[in-house]
Amino acid sequence: MSKLTRFLATAFVFLAAWLATLLGYVPVPEIAMEFVPALPLWIIVSFGAYSLASIGWSLVTFGDCPEAHQELLQEIQQAKADLRRLKVTVD
C-alpha cells in the first residue's frame, strides 16, 4: 500500500466518522456538537499553522558557517600554488 493510498484511506475513514456524527448516527454529548462541524477545518488550519511555524523556525535557526568559507578560500590558494607545481592548469 503506497503512502498516498494510506493517506486517502485514513482521510476517508475520518470523514465518514465525522459525517456520521454530524448526521446524528453516533451519539455524542450535546456539548460536543458545538465543535464537531468545524473539526476538519480546524485540523487543516492547525496543520497549516504548524507547517508555517516549523519552516519559519528552521529559517530563523538556519546555521551559517562563515569560518568554513574563510578556511576554504585560504585552502584554495594553497591548493593552487601546489597544483601549479604539479603542472596542473589553474586559472
Report the b/e string of 17-39 with b at 16+ CB within 10 A.
Answer: ebeebeeeeeeeeeeeeeeeeee
Give least dist CB 79 to other proteins, A: 4
Grid look-up 551559517 returns 64
Helices (H), the chain: 3-22, 39-60, 66-85
**Minimum separation from the CB atom of position 22 to other proteins (A):** 28
Interacting stretch for other proteins, rule CB under 8 A, among 9-17, 24-32, 38-46, 75-83? 75-83
The three cell numbers locating residue 87 = 603542472
83 touching other proteins, by CB under 8 A = yes
Q: Is 19 in the site for other proteins (CB under 8 A)?
A: no
Q: Given the rule CB under 8 A, which residues bind other proteins?
A: 2-4, 7, 51, 54-55, 58-59, 62-66, 68-69, 72-73, 75-76, 79-80, 82-83, 86-91
